[in-house]
Structure 1
């Protein structure tokens, strides 16, 4: 895949790691640092943990939909880099560090590792006061399909596993998702496309999963999304129930997921370009006659026709088979929807 990964999977039941690959390798955190921001905000709230309504609304969207404006607001309000210094001491983090001196306001450039991410979740689940745990984890259980910046954040953990899972994802370096002219600082890559999936999987948050990845320069979001999800699928995650179905590649850009197998069905979402999707079944619907595409596309310059639509359980909707798998009328090996 050509990617660089840092992985840690911790089974809370056995108290052991089931997967470790470069667990102490530093990555720029992207939005995963929002966990430390919210914990710093809540740290001195007192036993009642009273959170004003305006702050609660801002923090909710920061955790569920990875809102960057909210993170920037609290980064400034809480003092920036010292947030990280405080949380490193409080949680016993070993390789997490504030952004480089050249980019003090770039909270997404906080250095973090897979092993330290496990420590953050272990604090939340095992040592945090109940109101803190319930508030933060409650939001992570309800992560929205897309971030407020429009990026689909259901890659990795969210794609591979059925409930129960919680996620705090991170992405950086893709079009419109932030970047820097400086390539490295403190040994942390600041420019390669970064995609991270972190969270918990299984009843009782049995497993903590942290997968950090860097991708070759110029990698498209759909490819990074697919590569990270494939990597997550390969991991041993105790307690995790894997979503059932067939993983198939898609073609085209701006492919819409519909509430019904017809172009008049409501739009539930838009697939990242050329991404693997989980198909649960297929059903007949509106006949789609797609025009020929360029000869260097998978379509080979030949138009495609299908009256079959693939059902994507992770979206709860349908995509015409024209853009799924080989683009054949009916997908081989995929059952009909009942």
Structure 2
């Protein structure tokens, strides 16, 4: 009995040793469960100039930017937000969120009206007045003089606008359909391809945007309120209610390095004041442009 017990004890010890050695030899495996940019719907390296494409993401320079981008939809909880930030120095797109969703343009189409008006020999002072104060009356006169929807149709091939459509009702220029990707293309055309005199006229107007528009609406929401200490040039847009409450902030910041486009649409139940504050918060959360 003692000899049998000794053999059993020895066998148990050897078995334990062999099991330990086998377990120790298993390779280390890391399980990653945190959702990255792709899971959040944010594609930091997406080029907005190519609808529907998603290039392989470039290496991130830090963990803060993706987290900030992932927070953006929560800042407009009852509506929709689309964002594109384009870096003209590196020719990259550090932020692209729902860049191809369609919105009505509100006053952003006035940039296209401005180009057409300058092409037709309209006084630069008139164009600057329309843009800086977002003057609807002047825009309407220039819209009619330029052939209404033909202004948009001509801009589409000239600027490579893949997703912009003229309004169904020719008399409602603010119903022009746009996307954040296409507004980014408009600004890239302005900075890289437009005739120098036209560029300077439009930039002077956008840098001189007044705090209140011609209709009395405060148009310093978004980029101006969020980045007041940074040099900016902006064109804002606001309208209601076709179909919802629209507030857009767009322009150039940080010595014209970054092109920023933030488009939003909320239900009518969301007030202008609340919607404007949301747009400002979105801009405050954009990485790298402050």
TM-score, normalised by the number of residues in structure 1: 0.61
The structure where strand makes up a greater share of residues is 1
The unaligned stretches of length 5 or more in structure 2 are 1-76
How many Å apart are 1:43 and its aligned residue? 3.0
- Secondary structure of 2:224's partner? helix
Which of 143, 147, 155 is 2:213 aligned to? 147
Structure 2 CA distance for aligned equivalents of residues 13 and 60 of structure 1:
27
- 1:129 — aligned with what? 195
Structure 2 CA distance for aligned equivalents of residues 31 and 124 of structure 1:
17
Distance 1:56-1:134 versus aligned 2 partners, 3 A rule: closer
2:128–2:204 Cα contact (<8 Å) kept:
no
Deviations 1:91-125 (A, max 9, x none): 1100001001xx22100000001111111111111
Which of 265, 269, 279 is 1:228 aligned to? 279
- 1:198 — aligned with what? 250
Structure 2 CA distance for aligned equivalents of residues 6 and 227 of structure 1:
13
How many Å apart are 1:217 and its aligned residue? 2.0
Q: RMSD of aligned C-alpha atoms?
A: 1.2
The structure whose RCO (Cα within 8 Å, separation 6+) is larger is 2
Deviations 1:208-244 (A, max 9, x none): 00000001222111100111111111112x4x33xxx
- 2:88 — aligned with what? 12
Larger radius of gyration: 2
- 2:29 — aligned with what? none
State which drifts further: 142-151 or 55-64. Answer: 55-64
- 1:72 — aligned with what? 140
Structure 1 CA distance for aligned equivalents of residues 118 and 210 of structure 2:
22
Structure 2 CA distance for aligned equivalents of residues 43 and 87 of structure 1:
12
- 2:234 — aligned with what? 167
Structure 1 CA distance for aligned equivalents of residues 217 and 99 of structure 2:
26
The unaligned stretches of length 5 or more in structure 1 are 46-50, 174-178, 180-189, 242-338
2:118–2:124 Cα contact (<8 Å) kept:
no
The structure where helix makes up a greater share of residues is 2
Structure 1 CA distance for aligned equivalents of residues 214 and 148 of structure 2:
22
TM-score, normalised by the number of residues in structure 2: 0.71
Deviations 1:123-174 (A, max 9, x none): 111111111111101110010000010000000011111231110000001x
Structure 1 CA distance for aligned equivalents of residues 175 and 101 of structure 2:
14
